Amino acid sequence: MKLRVLYFARLRERLGCAEETLDCAGSTVADLVAQLQARGGMWAEELAADQAYRVAVNQDIVALDAALSENAEVAIFPPVTGG
Amino acid sequence: MKIMVQSAAFELGAEVDAMRRGRSDIGAIASFVGLARDMNDGSDVAAMTLEHYPGMTEKALAALVEEAQSRWTLLDVTLIHRVGRLLPGDPIVLVAVAGSHRGEAFAACEFIMDYLKTRAPFWKKEETPEGERWVEARASDDAAAMRWGKND
């Protein structure tokens, strides 16, 4: 399915990508993360299982087993540090 | 209710006056202002830049306030968070909560800040003598949010 994927803060800088549109072969957030990890390099490093990052689907933070939907807005970012 | 994400500075007195103006049912206003410091994790900090996720940020802040309203009876809430480049001493965030009595105002003000720290999509990048660095999330912030109990 087609997804719009956004990256923020340290992840945006390390991955060298703020936003992309991609076709996801799977149906969950974990499937998308696995697809991104498969790119290797910084993608595999930053999205490894032991890295702390958060995923939001349509602007709500979700768990890795959350389902994706066509044209969803997915955001991947480090733990937040506002306030 | 006033929820703002803005680059401009804010003024606590003006915000509290605006809450009070024209009403006499408020018995207590508790407020919190978070400031940018000149030192963090052993390094001098010359400035910081706050990045956020436009769209989600506003939704997340509104959800925090809604959650506070479901837990306490509140008469008004003002929540302002700045983004962009800030210097030491600059105000970053303001929470002001109006209630009939101090108990709910104090509690809701602290609750909103604790939840904001772990749920609102803001990220700080500091300028230090060693270069720029992203601020790491703190386990103590997770612990502070956890003590209010699970809500979802």
Digit-coded pLDDT (tens) for B2-11: 999 999 999 9
Please tell me the predicted confidence (pLDDT) of residue B121: 98
Closest CA of chain B from A48, distance in Å: 17
Model confidence, pTM: 0.95
A83 within some domain: no
What per-residue confidence (pLDDT) applies to A26? 96
Instruction: With CA atoms as reference, report the closest residue to A75 among A14, A32, A44.
Output: A32
Average pLDDT, chain B: 96
- Amino acid at site B120: A
Query: Nearest residue on chain B to A55, judged by CA atoms?
Result: B121
- Domain assignment of residue A68, given as a range: 2-77
Assigned CATH for B2-145: 3.90.1170.40
Is A32 part of any domain?
yes
From chain B, pick out residues whose CB is under 8 angstroms from the CB of A77.
Answer: 53, 121, 123
Q: What is the pLDDT of residues B55-106, one digit of tens each?
A: 999 999 999 999 999 999 999 999 999 999 999 999 999 999 999 999 999 9
Give B-chain residues touching A60 at CB under 8 angstroms: 59
Position A82 in a domain: no
Asked whether residue A11 is domain-assigned, the answer is yes
Q: Pick from B85, B93, B139, B138: which is nearest to B113 by CA? A: B93
Contact criterion met (CB < 8 Å) for B120 and A82: yes
Kindly determine whether residue A80 and residue B121, on different chains, have CB atoms separated by under 8 Å: yes
The CA distance from A29 to A43, in Å, is: 15
Residues in A touching B134 (Cβ below 8 Å): 9-10, 78, 81
Which residues on chain A are in Cβ contact (under 8 Å) with B32? none
pLDDT band at B150 (very low <50, low <70, confident <90, very high): low
Q: CATH number, domain at A7? A: 3.10.20.30
Dihedral, B45, B6, B118, B29 alpha carbons, nearest 10: 100
Q: Is B152 in CB contact (< 8 Å) with chain A?
A: no
Grouping H, G, I as helix, E, B as strand and the rest as coil, residue B136 is: coil
**A to B CB pairs, distance under 8 Å:** 70
Into how many domains does chain A fold?
Answer: 1
Answer yes or no: are the C-beta atoms of B117 and B36 closer than 8 Å: no
* pLDDT at residue B151, rounded to an integer: 56
Nearest-CA distance A34 → chain B (Å)? 23
pLDDT band for position A1 (cuts 50, 70, 90): very high
